[in-house]
Amino acid sequence: MFKSFLELVICLRSFSFPGISTLIAKGAYEAAFPLHDVSVRFEIPTRCPLILHEEWARYGVFYKYQPIDLVRKYFGEKVGLYFAWLGVYTQLLIPASIVGIIVFGYGVATVDADIPSLEMCDDRLNFTMCPLCDGACDFWQLSTACGTARASHLFDNPATVFFAVFMSLWAVLFLEHWKRRQISLNFSWDLTGIEEDEVHEHPRPKYETILLQKRQRKKNKKKKKNELTWKDRLPGYFINISSILFMFGLTFSVVFSVVIYRITVSALMAMSSDPEIKSNVRVTVTATAVIISLVVILILDEIYGSVAAWLTELEIPKTDTSFEERLVLKAFLLKFMNAYAPIFYVAFFKGRFAGRPGQYMYVFNHYRMEECAPGGCLIELCIQLSIIMLGKQLIQNNIFEIGIPKLKKLVRALKNKGTVEKEKEEEKAPQQWNLDYPLAAFEGLTPEYMEMIIQFGFVSLFVASFPLAPVFALLNNVIEIRLDAKKFVTELRRPVAARAKDIGIWYDILSGMGKFAVIINAFVISFTSDFIPRLVYQYMYSPTGTMHGFINHTLSYFNVSSLKPGTLPSNSMLGEVMVCRYKDYREPPWSPNAYQFSKDYWCVLAARLAFVILFQNLVMFLSHVVAWVIPDVPKTIMEQLKREKKLLVDVFLREEKEKFQLIQSLFAKENALQSEWPSNYTNTSSAFLHYQYQTVY
């Protein structure tokens, strides 16, 4: 009943608004916003902005907890929850990044003891590798790839496997921890027992207008419609699906064209006579390619954001809640694809379709499909990840979150200069609304959350290949919190305080990602890294039970004479080469079925798949256990609630008792004059009690 009582308050509050919002939508007003509050004269709530300035929106206080309650008091629950969530996330990134650093340290420490990379760097056992491109490229010594081999060991070592498990559990822990925090916030903010049900929500102006038009159309027919049916939305849905598919296609084609770029440019550079260019083909190509895809990602990110909004408008959702949900889902899908497509390519597809010497895959029938670096794909994946993650964060933070708002503000300020000046002349302090007007309008928390979620993806999805991701995420977020705080306090108009119990759909997206991360990491470890082949070699093939001879085991033989004419290197520096090696498990030329996948191939494949099953089920089981062990409601809150319930019952009973005493005494004193109210009073009171039994609330 209190619940309902409070809800009444909410619904009244929310009703007070749409009128204006409709008018704005119709263009009658230009803007409507609560004023920022800078007076220091009154009590706490009004002193907020100053405190917020000092205690919250300064980089100086990055090490402090945020004054969440003040934030909530000033900006409303919804914003408060966002910052609370961001805080919890950042806080939990600390242990993750510590472990990450340790794991990386382990890699650094053991790099000199790692036999495979030592063998790769050893010139004495000279593996003559088959040329990396047709004609132009020469045979090459594996020992020249020593660098990448050592580098890849930093990320491709047993510790990363442990780290992948750790991070999967970390994700679960994070979600559970947030649940608890959310509940205690709900409790201390008096949100327990509120449901945002859409009945109380006012339909969006867009929806109303369209409904109106429909009504007018339908007038001739007698039946009145108060709802938009799926019929009205059908065209919208069609456009939605088709354009989403189109944008998926766009993303994929971008990835593919970057691949083509890499292939062609490297081929061309290889053909050039200048040894200077030849020497650092791979570096230049990789670098440029990554930067290109980064730029494309950033551009598409913005485009997709606005497209998603446009598409959601077409769906004509009834309330703001549903609008937001649909928008978020779309935007997330698109941006997720956009950010991760190139990474998925490198992780799982690059080099898988390269074919084998004498039978390479060709695109545009004279460019060979690219292969991974000799050190394995993991190192490339790592480079890709780090550059995209860092680049995205730096650029988005600096340009899109600081630069552009400042610009907009400047522009508006110039537009608005007149009024302020005039007031200046009239010797009175500039009015608050004039000060606030130039600020950017508050456009919801979606972009803020989205940025963090995508980052969460970098931290969880491919963490097996880049243990330092949490560290960078942590550094970013420590700044991000204060950056957003500054933005909210100084750059944006004060948002309309909105109530919210939880972070809504974002939670589902987070937990979904957590689940997805498990399987992705399993595949990264078993297929992208060399972890499994090493195990298999050590325990099945190695004569000594050590890793000695691993490199030799991973390289197959190829008979140069069976290379297609023209693809043979014109003049080899290594003299007359009869047999070259390539990284694959295939039968040697002298076996009956030459160049077919060897037994080892199938054996390793089986091991990899077995590992995926083991890893996935183990981690899933563990995370279930973790989620089951940690109670959702903190013990203290639980007891608090119980105590309150008890008190409530007492109050209620005392209250009832006294009411009846009151009535009795009335009757006792006043049975003389027959006023009608006691009877009617008792009626209602009985009706009231009647309700208590009928509806349990």
The rounded distance, in Å, linking the Cα atoms of 298 and 392 is 7
Q: Which of 645, 674, 676, 679 binds its own copies (CB under 8 A)?
A: 645
Q: DSSP per residue over 68-101, as a string?
A: HHHHHHHH-HHHHHHHHHHHHHHHHHHHHHHHHH
Contact between 331 and 509 under an 8 Å Cβ cutoff? The reply is: no
Told to check if 94 binds its own copies by CB under 8 A, we report: no
**Amino acid type, 319:** T
* Per-position b or e across 192-217, b if 16+ CB within 10 A of its CB: bebebeeebbbbbeebeeebeebeee
* Contact status: 686 vs its own copies (CB under 8 A): no
Rounded Cα–Cα distance for residues 494 and 75 (Å): 7
Using rule CB under 8 A, residue 609 touches its own copies: yes
Nearer to its own copies, 33 or 601 (CB): 601
- Work out which of 38, 295, 411, 610 binds its own copies, going by CB under 8 A: 610
Does 647 sit near its own copies (CB under 8 A)?
Answer: yes
Q: 312 or 526: whose CB is closer to its own copies?
A: 526
Residue 356 bridge partners (DSSP): 359
Quick one: 577 or 603, whose CB is closer to its own copies?
603
In the complex with its own copies, the residue whose CB is nearer, 478 or 622, is 622
> Least distance (Å) from its own copies to the CB of residue 491?
34
**Buried-state track 223-245, b at ≥16 Cβ within 10 A, e below 16:** eeeeebeeeebeebeeebeebbe
Q: How is residue 584 written in tokens?
A: 């694959």
Are 236 and 99 in contact, with CB atoms under 8 Å apart?
no
* Pairing relationship of beta strands 579-583 and 555-559 according to DSSP bridges: antiparallel
Q: Total number of residues binding its own copies (CB under 8 A)?
A: 62
Q: What angle do CA 126, 129, 130 make, to 5 degrees?
A: 155
As given in the structure block, the two tokens for residue 197 are: 């049900």
One of 103, 307, 612, 619 touching its own copies (CB under 8 A): 612
Residue 407 or 647: the one with the smaller Cβ distance to its own copies is 647
Restricting to residues 185-214, which ones interact with its own copies according to CB under 8 A? Answer: 190-194, 197, 199
Q: Does 665 bind its own copies (CB under 8 A)?
A: yes
Work out whether 126 is an interface residue with its own copies (CB under 8 A): no
Q: Which is nearer to its own copies, 421 or 644 (CB)?
A: 644
Subset of 518-577 contacting its own copies (CB under 8 A) = 519
Beta carbon of residue 91, minimum distance to its own copies (angstroms, whole number): 28
Residue closer to its own copies (CB basis): 12 or 441: 12
Among 23, 32, 40, 613, binds its own copies (CB under 8 A): 613
**Contact map string, positions 8 to 27, toward its own copies, x by CB under 8 A:** x-------------------
Q: Which stretch binds its own copies (CB under 8 A): 20-28, 161-169, 290-298, 678-686?
A: 678-686
Q: How far is the CB of 683 from its own copies (least distance, A)?
A: 10
Q: What is the 3-state secondary structure (H, E, C) of 156-206?
A: CCHHHHHHHHHHHHHHHHHHHHHHHHHHHHHHHCCCCCCCCCHHHCCCCHH
Does 276 bind its own copies (CB under 8 A)? Our answer is no
Tell me if residue 140 falls in helix, strand or coil.
strand
Pick the piece of the chain touching its own copies (CB under 8 A) from 215-223, 372-380, 384-392, 679-687. 679-687
Amino acid identity, position 589: P
Of the CA atoms within 13 Å of residue 20, those in its CB half-sphere come to 10
Q: Which residues bind its own copies (CB under 8 A)?
A: 1-8, 190-194, 197, 199, 519, 598-599, 602-603, 605-606, 609-610, 612-613, 616-617, 642, 644-649, 651-655, 658-659, 661-662, 665-666, 669-670, 675, 677, 680-681, 684-685, 687-688, 691-693, 695-697
